[in-house]
Structure 1
Amino acid sequence: MDKLTSMICAKCGRQPSDMLILMCNHNLCLICAAKTMVSESAKNREVHKVICEICSLHTELDPNSVIELLKIYEEEYSESRYEREIQYQREESYSVSEFCREHPDEALGYFCFDCETECICAECVIHGEHKGHEVMQIKKAYPIIKDRIEDMNIYVNNKIDEIQLRGEKLESQKKEIIDQGNAAKQQVIVSFEDLRARMDKKEREIISQIERLVQQNLKEVENFTRIIIGKITALESIGEGIKRILSINLHNEVLDFYAENKEKMMTNIENEMSTLGNIDMNVNLRCAINTTSLTEHIESVKAVNIQISALRIIDDSGADEPKYSKKLGIRSS
């Protein structure tokens, strides 16, 4: 063991001028030695010893050492122990890495568990805003706060796992939305294929019906055409008779023909012309498709209505919060 190590307290890490050398060659400052001795004496008043916290070896003390350590213990826990701690830090060059913000000349040495602020000095504990608070030396507070930080790290990792799980759920929902969208598209394709098949069938039916109507009307037109030809032939026959009479120069025969055939010819002509109106009315047929009605029907077809509900992340971590908060020492405001 080198000289530097032998001058460091094995319990608090200080480098005081006076040390208690144990049987195991581990050293304790007198303050730590006094605390250890009193703790062991409380267990057995007849034995005065110090147990090394590093190797657990017992070192028995002589009566003079016991008396000195008892004095040191009483002085350590008197009302002025914080003032002596300040003086001790100054005289013994207590090694610290930083100084107090409120008291720049004072070294950091304590942590306040009530405020949980940055490390503070002895002056803050004695006369400052941390007076009367639950404070502890930095070295002793370190393992406690370290455990809390480790718990916080576990808490953060649990939250990360929870968020990742929700991310996986979102990916699953994303895939489900895509699959449902593709299924809806396929349904639209099938539906419109069926609709087009029905429309094609209806188109063929209407065209076939139109063709039948056309054939029927053409047949009627041909019948009427034959009738008209017959009427023309009859009227031409009457006209030929008139021309033949006009070509005769016998006055009496022309007059007799007129007298005998006038009424008959006029009657025949009127009879032949009287059916022409019925012919015009019967032939005046049409086939109309209401395209406006078809358009309205097509527009009224509802293709597909996909409703995608907004994804709302339900924060159900509130039930776990008190447990972690309590474990981490987090106070609710």
Structure 2
Amino acid sequence: MTSATRDDPTLKQTADESPSQADRPVLLSVQNLVKEFGTGGAFSGSKNAPVIRAVAGVTFDLATGETLGLVGESGCGKSTLARCILRLSPPTSGEVFLNGVNLAKLSEEEMRRQRRHLQVVFQDPFASLHPRMRIGEIISEPLGLLDMTKKQRLERLHELVDLVKLNKEHLQRFPHELSGGQRQRVGIARALAVNPKVVILDEPVSALDVSIQAGILNLLADLQERLGLSYLFVAHNLSTVRHISNRVAVMYLGKIVELAPREQIFDSPRHPYTVALLSAVPTADPRSERQRQRIVLKGDLPSPAAPPSGCRFRTRCWKAQDLCATEEPMLRTVGRSTFACHFPEPDVR
């Protein structure tokens, strides 16, 4: 399957066609992460209000220099998972290891010291920047936490501006005076200010014009190669994910249902949900686009407060059988794919 984004000549190929993770040390490890939200509360009048399990036991590793794409439709728990990893929202249970340090067990003060290694670029570049601060102040603010002289901070500021391909005159401007693409470059520069090891990219190009997206994606690829960064790339645009990711994790209703190398996911998906998502990706070839068979999922995404019994996807799955209603499929690895399905698609590779 060929996506329009992948065929865009302005985009660089950022990930290896057949990446090997075995020789890369694990930098970030998420183990059985759970995040629950209560729907009751002091003023709800109900002591038995249901609990929403937005993240329902997620496990994955991120290797040094790797990009892991995390995809799924709105409401599946992608952004909640990212916030739990960052400790912006404390997980209910589970563990998050960054370079061997369990972030879930750290105090607030200890976590503050670890934040320099784990940074985030948000979806909306305008909302994530202080409107009354100049660009130079926004980018250099994290440098105040480091043991640096005023001269060193200024040198670092100019280095960051060059890294993200902004001009020095931008430093005196306010966020509203920049374009959307320039504001996102500011957000990236701010995230890189403290030399992080892992950057979580939460829909970093979805708020930008299509004409600007390629420039940001190419910038992220250049920075990864130059600085050895690891990315967790949260997105719903599968064309973008195919371009930038080494591996892809597909999330549905709080759980990862498939995880595999990029080309395995796009050429031979095993989980029906992945197949349905890929069927909606447009192709660059008009003839292929006309012949493409779209799989329209029936019904709405179930509520995480009352997920279906057995397989969570069974109420929308065209392959569901009686077993799917009574037994939850566990993640299993076959070949290069890890998936949770009783009746997976065949591997056609």
Where relative contact order (Cα < 8 A, 6+ residues apart) is larger, the structure is 2
Q: TM-score, normalised by structure 1?
A: 0.22
Greater Rg, structure 1 or structure 2? 1
1 or 2, which has the higher helix percentage? 1
Q: TM-score, normalised by structure 2?
A: 0.22
